[in-house]
Amino acid sequence: MRHPRNSNGMMNPAYSRDPNDTPEPTGGRRSRSKISQVIVARPHYQQEDLNNAFNYFKPKSNFYQEALESMREMDTKTCLTGLFPIFQWLPEYSFPSDFIGDLISGLTVGVMHIPQGMGYALIANMPPITGIYTAFFPVFIYFLLGTSRHNSMGTLAVVSIMTGKVVYNHSGEGSNFTNLEVGTALCFLVGIIQLVMCLLRMGAASFLLSEALVSGFTTGAAVYVFTSQMKDILGVTLPPLGSKFEIVYTYYELGKKIPETNLINLAIAAVAIIILLINNEIIKPRLAKLCIIPIPIQLILVIGGTLLSIQYNLKENYAIKVVGTIPQGLPAPKLPNFDILPEILTESITVAVVGYTVSVSLGIIFAKKENYEIGFNQELLALGAGNVFGSFFSCYPFAASLSRAAIQYLAGGKTQITGLISCSLLAVVLLFVASFFQPLPRCILASIIAVSVQGLLMQAKDLPKFWRQGFFDGVTWVLTFISVVFISIDVGLLVGFALSVSSIFFRALRPYMCQMGNVPNSDVYLDITRYEGLIEHRGIKIVHYSGGLHFASRAVFKSNICQFLNINLTEETKRRKSPNFIEADDAIKYLILDFTALSYIDPSAISTFKTFVKDLEVIDVQTLLAGCSPLVFEKMKKCNFIGGEENYVRTYPTVHDAVHFAQKQLRLRAGVSQTIQEVRL
């Protein structure tokens, strides 16, 4: 803001005040002046005049021509690198340095895949070996098509839970389908849905899932994962439970089964949990300062548990449940059972969206850290193609894992070659070692999974942060979490999604509006509720509007304007018709709407606006618009709100131009009124 006086003490020619203007003292929060005038050293424009002066035109967009031009520009190389991102980063690959990091990281993550894959497969109600299949076959496709260099693809706790629900609901007694058939069919359908989303360019649509929703949902899902492992930790068998209120029923049944607890099973699980916690809380943080490669404690427990089971024949001697039959070698390709696809369509959409959302969210985190971009729609293509391919090899839906991705990044992983190396390790396991894990006690896998969700459970600490961010965020977190824990996962996700979308809708219904005042000796206008010493020009009311003006917000807009003017249109109209009506000296004659932050206006809002402007004219209040964006200006012009024969309102490029016009008209009115009084005298 330029100061009204220059360094020599003279008035700055860019700003001057009317010599007849004598503003009241500004000792209060804001001051009200007589018809004050601020002059800037430039012409005062009406919007149409400005458009004519600088040859305003609306750019023409021809989708067909643009598509043809883009197709001409594309060559074989561009298409190849677009479809297969590997051809973008592979030429820049630094073999010795990058490969060492990828090798160490790949081997580390590959080791984690073995216990996690088998454990998460049990959560998904699938054979344990399918978890390793899921960490093997789809990852090859992601290696070629994926854009995230640090995501560890494979089994994911949340997706495994959701898969388990679908498998449980559509297999078993009274069904014609096996668990494996339902899981592979789900994998195929999830892949098809993700490919369709890719074709429809819906990559960014999943970000309707807010951060509060994702946090509340994954925290609730972690409670579900932990609860699902309690039966294996205690060594008891639970009866079939309903799809709703499962956690509640689970703890109720566990309470009844406590006398039947297998103490040897519980002791083995307790020892495994203690070892894992000691490693995570004490050994791992200290070791991280010395070596980037963590101790493969999960694999050590799996191997140790298997050897212990073989040595003491735990299954026969102590009735401890073991993993059971694990086929060795790679599975033969087989078509999924397409007969079940119509029955699982709805659940497949939920799994597809959640798997994609979690994967992309993690990818964005690491992409920001390493300064590269990921393609939202390309990720849909990679996930969709990977799921379709994996469905032919007994896989269930795959996604990125936060715990493995963090280890992969910390261990020095640089590119997708990390996934290729982990797949190579898993190939060795599948071909030569898989059957070794058949005697593994399931309580050890349950312990590993229960401890692995510790980080997700600790997300409950984020709740105060979401409450501080806003009421809607806090409510979304709480209700999503409660719905997941006390009802079911799919209902919880639906509740959270509805709340996230509703929060957008309700915020749109409550746009930011404020009355503005003039900074003395300038053309700056600010919110009078947030700044002191501002001038309110007599006879003029300036209102700022931020947001979209549409069919849902038009009523709020009209109501708030009436509040700023301190009028009731119906009563004011009746009052003016009274023969005893006398207008106040400081009555508002001009309403200036600052639309610099108006993002969108629709025809229904314009229709309401027309009626409102006419109603204001009845009570002698003229409406002026300032700062309309080109899109808003063009929409109003198309709807004959401005620029037509009726020309309901005048438009100005800035608030100051509108104020200048209003002040000029008020001076003319004042002059005419004074002349009439003199003639009467």
Higher pLDDT among residues 154 and 6, named by residue: 154
Residue type, 476: T
Q: What is residue 25's predicted lDDT score, i.e. its pLDDT?
A: 40
Task: Give the Cα separation of 163 and 187 in Å (integer).
Answer: 9
Q: What is residue 244's predicted lDDT score, i.e. its pLDDT?
A: 76
Mean pLDDT value of segment 319-344: 89
Q: What is residue 17's predicted lDDT score, i.e. its pLDDT?
A: 43
Q: What is the pLDDT of residues 525-565, one digit of tens each?
A: 999 999 988 989 889 999 999 988 888 888 888 888 999 98
Residue 201 CA: distances (Å) to CA of 61, 206, 388: 20, 11, 19
Residue 356 CA: distances (Å) to CA of 245, 398, 675: 26, 9, 74
In DSSP terms, which residues pair with 598 in a beta bridge? 547
* Number of neighbours of residue 277 by Cβ within 10 angstroms: 12
φ and ψ at residue 597, rounded to 5 degrees: -105, 15
Taking the CA atoms of 622, 626, 632 and 633 in sequence, report the sign of the dihedral they define: positive
Asked if residue 253 lies in contact with residue 227, where contact means CB atoms within 8 angstroms, the answer is no
Residues 6+ apart with CB under 8 A from 441: 265, 268, 305, 308, 309, 314, 320, 321, 322, 323
The angle that helices 345-370 and 489-509 make with each other, rounded to 10 degrees, is: 70
Residue 140's nearest CA partner among 389, 491, 446 is 389
Domains of the chain: 96-503 (no CATH), 509-668 (3.30.750.24)
Higher pLDDT among residues 7 and 332, named by residue: 332
Which of 211-220, 254-263, 287-296, 473-482 is predicted with the least confidence, judged by mean pLDDT?
Answer: 287-296
Residue 142's nearest CA partner among 393, 382, 419, 423 is 382
Task: Give the Cα separation of 440 and 272 in Å (integer).
Answer: 13
Residue 145's nearest CA partner among 426, 395, 374 is 374
Task: Give the Cα separation of 442 and 269 in Å (integer).
Answer: 9
Task: Give the Cα separation of 536 and 544 in Å (integer).
Answer: 14
Mean pLDDT value of segment 344-352: 90
Q: What is residue 325's predicted lDDT score, i.e. its pLDDT?
A: 83
Q: What is residue 183's predicted lDDT score, i.e. its pLDDT?
A: 95
Check pLDDT > 60 for residue 621: yes
Determine whether 63 is exposed, middle or buried from the number of CB atoms within 10 Å of its CB (0-12, 13-18, 19+): exposed
Asked if residue 455 lies in contact with residue 403, where contact means CB atoms within 8 angstroms, the answer is yes
H or E stretch at 33: strand 30-33
| pTM attached to this predicted model | 0.72
Which of 28-37, 118-127, 400-409 is predicted with the least confidence, judged by mean pLDDT?
Answer: 28-37
Task: Give the Cα separation of 168 and 187 in Å (integer).
Answer: 15
Taking the CA atoms of 564, 569, 575 and 581 in sequence, report the sign of the dihedral they define: positive
Q: What is the pLDDT of residues 245-299, one digit of tens each?
A: 888 888 888 898 899 999 999 999 999 999 989 988 888 888 877 776 677 888 8
Q: What is residue 9's predicted lDDT score, i.e. its pLDDT?
A: 40
Q: Tell me which DSSP letter residue 338 carries.
A: G
Residue type, 459: Q
Asked if residue 337 lies in contact with residue 185, where contact means CB atoms within 8 angstroms, the answer is yes
User: With helix as H, strand as E and coil as C, how does 589-644 read?
Assistant: CEEEEEEEEEEEECHHHHHHHHHHHHHHHHCCCEEEEECCCHHHHHHHHHCCCCCC
Mean pLDDT value of segment 69-91: 62
Angle at 353 between CA 348 and CA 358, to 5 degrees: 130
Asked if residue 254 lies in contact with residue 515, where contact means CB atoms within 8 angstroms, the answer is no
Task: Give the Cα separation of 359 and 399 in Å (integer).
Answer: 6
φ and ψ at residue 17, rounded to 5 degrees: -120, 145
Check pLDDT > 60 for residue 647: yes
Structure tokens at 500: 């996230």
Q: What is residue 155's predicted lDDT score, i.e. its pLDDT?
A: 92
* Number of neighbours of residue 466 by Cβ within 10 angstroms: 21
Mean pLDDT value of segment 225-230: 86
